[in-house]
Structure formats: structure tokens, C-alpha cells
Amino acid sequence: MIPEFGQLSLIIAFLLAVCLSIIPMAGSYNGRLVWMASARSLTAGMFVFTALAFAILTWAFYTDDFSVKYVANHSNLVLPIQYKISAVWGGHEGSLLLWILILAGWSLAVSVLSRNLPLDVLARVLSVMGMVAVGFFLFIIFTSNPFDRILPNIPHDGGDLNPLLQDFGMIIHPPMLYMGYVGFSVVFAFAIAALLSGRLDSAWARWSRPWTNSAWCFLTIGLALGSWWAYYELGWGGWWFWDPVENAAFMPWLVGTGLIHTLAMTEKRGVFKNWTLLLAIFTFSLSLLGTFLVRSGVLTSVHAFASDPTRGVFILVFLAIVVGGSLSLFALRAQEVKSTSGFDLLSREAFLLANTIIFIVTANFVLLGTLYPLIADALGIGKISVGEPWFNTFFVKLMAVVAMLMGVGAMLNWKKTDYGRIKKWQIPPLLISIWLGSFLPGVFEGSYSVGAAIAITLGSWVLLASIWDVRRKISKSATAGAGLAKLSLSYYGMIVAHIGFGVCLLGTSLNTIYSDQRDVRLTIGEPLFAAGYEYELLDVTRTRGQNFFADVGDVIVRKKGKEITRLRPQKRQYFSGGNMMTEAAIDAGFFRDIYVALGDELDNGDWAVRIHFKPVVRWIWLGAIFMALGGAIAIADKRYRVRKKVTKQVHSEGVEKATEVTEGTEDLGKVQ
Amino acid sequence: MHPKRKQRLILVLFIVVLSSTAIGLTIYAFKENLNLFYPPSKIVDGTAPTGKSIRAGGCVVPGSVKMASDSLVVNFNVTDGMAELAVSYDKILPDLFDEGEAVVLTGELNDEGVFMATKVLAKHDESYMPPEVADTIQSQGAEHMKTCEGLNYDS
């Protein structure tokens, strides 16, 4: 009976979503307060019933209810409990339910945390989110019901969760990624609401910024987790493959990065309003496109699910409605949203605009490369795939320009800058980074790499320019501590995120240039030299895990005869399904990883072994963590919190008022 | 000229130059990096070019997988039900690679008609079949197969 209750609550949630998408929206036009105010309770209801459905599905997994088809296909009796729970989103239906749960969660968060939002704006925002939810509820109820039963012949045991997914990464990567993906629906809803009312002021930007930033932080972490998971779990030792599904998640990130920057400009300076709206629409549309690409199985990818063509068609139609509808609305109403002020070529706006454009161009390239195989197939050109080198070619060059402009732009003032005054703060970091760039590649082993020289120059330029900018900011204060205390949190957020970008840039490029990866044949007891290290396979033994057998290699790694580490890579065979899985063993370090994965046993007792030496690979994810942290710090800035309270304090305390005013002007002058 | 118009003109010129460079580079880079997919029968009959990066795919013929005794080189055949293509690969095969299962390969065809693979992608999901392979594999000229099971390997 219980699964039917899940089905029922899903339908109730759907009906509430329908009400949510109609009543508050209508209320915002006919001015009935009760209609508008119903948005909050409808949102809460939608969330509660979706959560109930999700909890019931989780319960079905927990209790091994194999009469539910989805459970039978994605779990079995011996599956460890944490994977039974994460198997809820291990397949198509369940991950879609997670999608909707998170959408309902974001809607609830908006309704609870936006107490100071005017009621009509809130009503419209929640209504738009309700409309998105309606689309997904229809999708799940009609094409992918997770509560379908297998009756009357209930299986005794389930199939298995794909062994690749039986991992810690599976527990956190999809929820984080979805939090990011779906989180962009909030700014999308804000954009639609602004277009409907024709009202887009700095207050609008201030409301949407924390939501956009948080979605972006989640997406950043989600992508980093995915990359890290692929690195240690897939057993190939790569951290990015330009796989269509990776691209699908990466495009919203690229455009979203542009969006958080144009939002900053819209809030501070009232410029690029249309641009911001358009990016908000694009970001969310790309999230939907990503969902389409993953769900429809139209592309060959490691992420592809077994698919059903009706699902692809459904999402494509939904995508067309969302994109078509919002773009037509934009075309009709964009005229009413005008920018108020101009700016010079040498201003923060100009540099931000340039970098935003580059991010959009990059996203377009990725989109082209991802969809080109589909277009070519449809046009009958043939079955084509776009190789990784193509993506790398343009991506590296475009990001290099971003890095160059970033160091300059962050130091400039809004509107207009007297370059003479910031020149002395730009020269030292520039010289130091050029020196580092030209000097360091000569120190590293191997031949001098020009690519590394450029990468180090650019990476250290981003880092040093940020540090020098902080020094410039505090140079007028009496002590460094006093200066640092005066800077706003959103400024700190920007600095931390930019440093993260620099670290990530250094990590990706140096890792690509200096990695040593080889597949070798190891004879037990015979050491092998690779990239300055000595690897010896001592033996391979067989052990048993909770739901698998494993061959465990014992590899000793030495440098100049001294033992560095002992690695125990595994080759697992899972009981159900008999799938093989490689568990790489990694000796992680701040400056390098040693990565060993076991291949197959060869006929004479030798083993195929994958040995990788990966310099600074951790910096890639460290950089991403910094970027997300920067975003989080910026959200914590107090100007996003209740305005009314501040005004009250200003009235009562003169001192408060004085600080408030200086902070305000400082914000305008310096802070992004 | 009115300064605002001038600003717009600069912007338009900037966009035109940027986008035409971008498009030019894209097309150029596309030429170098597009890998066309060929089913084994099209490779065996000589339609596919040699010495150029292409992709192939099909089902691994049971019993055809042979490992070298002193290196990692592995040889196997893939089939689309009509012709068999010899493949050589010198790295570690993916976990899900198995006889009688679908694979998608990237690599070059050498002069002896052997496909020198640089990348082997094996299926990821029990019931998933890469669409390229599904399209090319036909059993008795009828329905597209969902998996490699039931494929007639004798032909």
C-alpha cells in the first residue's frame, strides 16, 4: 500500500503546483491579496507532499520492497545501507524525483526567506517556479513513475545498483549538482517576474543576487565533486572528458558565472539590465537542456541512461515552451527595462562586460561541440563525434584572455578610472608573475614548456593582482588590521573566488602539461621506473567485501630507493550482475598525486597496471572550493539581509548611521 | 558623429570581428577534430579512410579477444552482424569491456585494415547500447537490436 501513497502524494503535489502556477499569478493582476498570499502556503504544501513522496521511495529502498519496479532495478539485499539510500537517485525516475524535491525546496526557501519582498513580486516568482514544477510533475507522472509495481510476480532479490555508483561520490555529487542546476530556476523566476512587471531596479538585483550566488556555489561544488569522483572512480585518472553530460552541467556554470557578474553591475550601477535578464533565462534554459541531454539518451556518453524516446520528446517540448515563452516575453517587454547610466572604456563595467561575453562565447562553443553530432546526424552528414582536442583548443585560449582581463578589471573603479593611480599597484604583480612564469618551467624536470610559462604567468597574475588589490585597499588605513576589517564581505568573496580561479587555472594547465601517464605490464617482484619513481608489485591477493570479491594489488612506490608509500589498488567483481570495477589507489599530496590502478591479470601471471604521476591535480578542486567559498562569503554580506531593521537602527543611533553611510559609498566605489 | 552612435559603431565592429574570427577558428578546428563514425562493414569494404582519426563500433566477437604475452597489446574483432573488423589496442581495457558486448572505438585504420584504437568506450548500463551501434547492428535486416545478445556471429 505504501508505494501507492507515494504516488498519491506526488499527484497531490502536482495539483498544488498547478494551483501555485495560476492563483498567485492571477492575484498579482487583479490585486486580490488573498490570492497572492496563497503562494506561500501552496509552496509549502507542494514541498511537503513532494518530500513525502521522496521519503516513501526512500522507505521502499530501505525495506527492500522489490515489488516496486524502480527499487527492484536499482537495489538488492546485500547492497550496503548508505548505497540503498543513495540508489534512490541512482536511476532515471528517482533522480527526477530528487530534481522536483529540490525545486520545491528552493521554492520553499524563497517563500520563507523573502519576507521583505513585496507581495506581488513574491507571488509572481513563486508562480513561475510553480509552472516549472508543473512541467516536471507531468513528466514524472506520465513518463517516469518511480512507484510502478511489478505484480503479481514480485522478485526475491533486486538487480544491482551499477557498481560505479556504489561510492561516496554518488551520495553527494547528484544532490549538489541538482541544487545548482535547479537553483538557477530562482533567478529565472525573478527575471520573468521582472519582465512581467517591467520593474527592474537595484532592489530587484539585490533580491536575486544571493539566490543566484548560492545556486552557483552549489553547481561549482557539484562539478568539482563530479570531476573528483570521475578521477578516482572511473580508473582512467582523468578529471575532465568533455563528455556531453559534463558539458551539459558546465554550460549553465559558464553562463551562470557571467550572470553573477552582470547582476553585480545591475545592482551597483543599474547597467546591463537586459543582458542580466537574458542571461538569467539562458542559464536556466541550459540547465533544462542539460536535463534533456542526460534523460533522452540522444548522445553517447558515460552518463547515458537506458532511455525511452517519449521522455526525450517530452523534455524537448517542455524546453521549447520554456525557452520560447521566456524569450518571447523578453522580446516583448525588454524595451521597458532600460539601463540608466553609461561608463568609460577603462572602467570595471567594461572589463566585466568583456569577460562576461567571453564566458558566453565559451558556453556557445561548448554548446556547439556538444550538439554538433546531433545536428550532423539530423542533416544526414554522418555520425560524428567532436574530439577533446577541439574543446581544449578554444577553451584554453578564451580562459587565458579571461585571466588577463580579470587581474586588471578587478582593480578598476566603476564608471571611470584614472589609470595613473592604479598603475603602481599593477606593475609589481605583473613583473613578478612574468618572472615566475619564465623562471619556474626551467626548474621543473623535463624540457622547458612555453605553455607552462604562459599558464604560470597568467595564474600568478590572477593571484598576485588580487593580493595587491587588497594591499591597495588597506594602504590608506593606519594598520593592516583596521584596513582589513573595513572591507566588506562581498569584496572578500570576490577576492577568494578570483584566487580560486587562479589556483584552478594553475592546477588544470600544469597538470595537463606535466602529467605522466602510462599503462604498463608489471611482473611481480620486478620494479619499474616511471617519472622518477620506482614501482614494484609485491603480490596480488583476493579478499571479500560486503557485496564483492576483490583482487588487491600491493604496490610499493620508492623514490631514490626510499619507500614513499604503499598502494593497494583493487579490482572488484560484484556478486550480482558480475560487473567488474577498478578501485584506483591514490597517494594524494598538495603538489602531486601518485595514481595506481589495476588492470587485468595477463596469461603468465603479470598484471596490467595503470601508473600515473599527476602534479598539482588537487589544485583543480581546491580552486573550485575557493570559488564556491568566495560565493558563500559574498552571500553573507549584510546588505542582503533585512533592510528594514537597518533603517530602524539608523533612526535611533546617529553613530550607526555614519558607519552605514561610509559603507554604502565604499560599496559603490570598490566592491564588486 | 554623435558620440553615442560612435560608441555603438565600435561595439558593433567589435562584435563582428570577434564573431567572424570565432566562426573561422571553429570551422578550421572542426575539420581537424571531427571523428566520423563507421560501422565495421563500411570499414571492411574500404569506404572508411585510412590514417585518419575515425570512430567505429559494434559487438565484440566472442572468442576473438587475444592478449599479447609481453606487452599490453590486445586484439579483438567487432562486428555489426555483416562484417568483422580487427581491432588492436595497447592500453588497459575498460572494466565493462567484455566479449559479446557493445563497444565504441576511436582510432585510425592502418594500411593492413586493422583498426588501431586509441580509446575504447564500453557500455555503462546493463540495457544501454550506444545509439551509433544500435543503428548499425541489424539482425536479418529487420529490427534494430537493443543489445548484442542474440546477434548472429556466424555471418
Place of cell 578550421: B28
What local confidence, expressed as pLDDT, does residue A658 receive? Answer: 38
Closest C-alpha among B143, B140, B135 to residue B155: B140
Closest CA of chain A from B144, distance in Å: 14
Nearest CA in chain B to A299: B131
Nearest CA in chain B to A369: B30
Residue-wise pLDDT tens digits, A133-157: 999 999 999 888 999 998 878 888 8
The answer to whether the beta carbons of residues A233 and A164 sit under 8 Å apart is yes
Q: How far apart are CA A274 and CA A205, in angstroms?
A: 12
pLDDT at A650 over 60: no
- Interchain pair A610, B92: CB under 8 A: yes
What local confidence, expressed as pLDDT, does residue A314 receive? Answer: 83
Q: Does A418 reach chain B within 8 Å, measured CB to CB?
A: no
What local confidence, expressed as pLDDT, does residue A92 receive? Answer: 84
Residue pairs spanning A and B at CB distance below 8 A: 105
ipTM exceeding cut-off 0.85 for this assembly: no
Cis before residue A152, ω within 30 degrees of 0? yes
Residue-wise pLDDT tens digits, A40-84: 999 999 999 999 999 999 999 999 999 999 999 889 888 899 999
Q: Does B124 reach chain A within 8 Å, measured CB to CB?
A: yes
Q: What is the pTM of this model?
A: 0.89
Average pLDDT over residues A531-560: 90
What local confidence, expressed as pLDDT, does residue A304 receive? Answer: 54
- Interchain pair A386, B90: CB under 8 A: no
Which residue among A306, A372, A382 sits closest to B37, beta carbon to beta carbon?
A: A382
pLDDT grade for A340, boundaries at 50, 70 and 90: low
Q: Does B83 reach chain A within 8 Å, measured CB to CB?
A: no
| Cβ neighbours of B21 in A, within 8 Å | none
- Counting residues of chain A whose pLDDT is more than 70, the rounded percentage is 92
Which residue among A306, A602, A610 sits closest to B125, beta carbon to beta carbon?
A: A306
Closest CA of chain A from B41, distance in Å: 15
Residue-wise pLDDT tens digits, A276-315: 999 999 999 999 888 877 776 666 555 555 556 677 778 8
Among B residues 14-53, those touching chain A with beta carbons less than 8 Å apart:
18, 22, 25-26, 29-30, 32-37, 53
Q: Does A69 reach chain B within 8 Å, measured CB to CB?
A: no
The answer to whether the beta carbons of residues A248 and A222 sit under 8 Å apart is no
Phi and psi dihedrals of A555, rounded to 5?
-110, 130
pLDDT at A18 over 80: yes
Among A residues 446-475, those touching chain B with beta carbons less than 8 Å apart:
none
Q: Does B5 reach chain A within 8 Å, measured CB to CB?
A: no
CB neighbour list of residue B23: distance below 8 Å, 6 or more residues apart: none
What local confidence, expressed as pLDDT, does residue A301 receive? Answer: 56
Which residue among A357, A393, A600 sits closest to B29, beta carbon to beta carbon?
A: A393
pLDDT grade for A638, boundaries at 50, 70 and 90: confident
The answer to whether the beta carbons of residues B112 and B42 sit under 8 Å apart is no
- Interchain pair B34, A387: CB under 8 A: yes
Which residue among B29, B67, B126 sits closest to A602, beta carbon to beta carbon?
A: B67
Alpha helices in A446-488 (DSSP H): 450-474, 480-486
| Cβ neighbours of B127 in A, within 8 Å | 306
Is residue A558 classed as helix, strand or coil in its secondary structure? strand
Dihedral-angle region of residue A578 (phi above 0 means left; psi in -120 to 50 means alpha; beta otherwise): left
pLDDT at B144 over 70: no
- Interchain pair A300, B128: CB under 8 A: no
Q: How far apart are CA B44 and CA B153, in angstroms?
A: 16
Average pLDDT over residues A341-354: 82
pLDDT grade for A672, boundaries at 50, 70 and 90: very low
Q: What is the residue extent of each domain of chain A? A: 1-166, 211-309+318-402, 418-514+619-641, 516-616
DSSP, res A335: G
Nearest CA in chain A to B30: A390
Q: Give the bridge partners for B121, in sequence order.
A: B104
The answer to whether the beta carbons of residues A202 and A156 sit under 8 Å apart is no
Q: Does A384 reach chain B within 8 Å, measured CB to CB?
A: yes
pLDDT at A558 over 70: yes
Nearest CA in chain A to B14: A354
Q: How far apart are CA B44 and CA B85, in angstroms?
A: 6
Angle, helix A168-197 to helix A202-233, in steps of 10 degrees:
160
The answer to whether the beta carbons of residues A538 and A642 sit under 8 Å apart is no
Q: How far apart are CA B135 and CA A231, in angstroms?
A: 31
Q: How far apart are CA A42 and CA A24, in angstroms?
A: 9
Closest CA of chain B from A574, distance in Å: 12
Nearest CA in chain A to B127: A306
Q: What mean pLDDT value characterizes chain A?
A: 87
- Interchain pair B33, A389: CB under 8 A: yes
What local confidence, expressed as pLDDT, does residue B142 receive? Answer: 39
What local confidence, expressed as pLDDT, does residue A651 receive? Answer: 43
Which residue among B22, B36, B91 sits closest to A384, beta carbon to beta carbon?
A: B36
pLDDT at A521 over 70: yes
Asked whether the CA dihedral A665, A668, A670, B4 is positive or negative, the reply is negative
| Cβ neighbours of A297 in B, within 8 Å | 128, 131
- Interchain pair B124, A304: CB under 8 A: yes
DSSP, res A149: B
CB neighbour list of residue A484: distance below 8 Å, 6 or more residues apart: A470, A474
pLDDT at B82 over 90: no
Strand pairing category for B34-38 and A533-544: unpaired
- Interchain pair A303, B124: CB under 8 A: yes
What local confidence, expressed as pLDDT, does residue A346 receive? Answer: 79
Which residue among B92, B96, B132 sits closest to A383, beta carbon to beta carbon?
A: B132
- Interchain pair A383, B30: CB under 8 A: no
The answer to whether the beta carbons of residues A90 and A170 sit under 8 Å apart is yes
Closest CA of chain B from A63, distance in Å: 24
What local confidence, expressed as pLDDT, does residue B137 receive? Answer: 63
| Cβ neighbours of A383 in B, within 8 Å | 36-37, 55, 132, 135
Average pLDDT over residues B100-123: 87
More confident residue, B140 or A186: A186
What local confidence, expressed as pLDDT, does residue A669 receive? Answer: 35
Which residue among B29, B36, B121 sits closest to A383, beta carbon to beta carbon?
A: B36
pLDDT at A631 over 90: yes
Q: Does A603 reach chain B within 8 Å, measured CB to CB?
A: yes
Residue-wise pLDDT tens digits, A191-209: 999 999 888 888 888 899 9
| Cβ neighbours of A164 in B, within 8 Å | 124
pLDDT at A13 over 90: yes
pLDDT grade for A462, boundaries at 50, 70 and 90: very high
- Counting residues of chain A whose pLDDT is more than 90, the rounded percentage is 51
Residue-wise pLDDT tens digits, A410-434: 888 887 777 777 888 889 999 999 9
Residue-wise pLDDT tens digits, B21-72: 877 777 777 777 788 888 888 888 888 888 888 888 888 888 899 888 888 8
pLDDT grade for A250, boundaries at 50, 70 and 90: very high
| Cβ neighbours of B106 in A, within 8 Å | 385, 387
- Interchain pair A383, B93: CB under 8 A: no
The answer to whether the beta carbons of residues B148 and B59 sit under 8 Å apart is yes
Nearest CA in chain A to B129: A306
Residue-wise pLDDT tens digits, A261-279: 999 988 888 888 888 999 9
Average pLDDT over residues B98-111: 87
Q: How far apart are CA A369 and CA A387, in angstroms?
A: 9
pLDDT grade for B6, boundaries at 50, 70 and 90: confident
Asked whether the CA dihedral A13, A17, A23, A27 is positive or negative, the reply is positive
| Cβ neighbours of A390 in B, within 8 Å | 29-30, 32-34
Q: Could you tell me the three cell numbers for B102? A: 557493445
Cα A105 to the center of its chain, rounded Å: 18
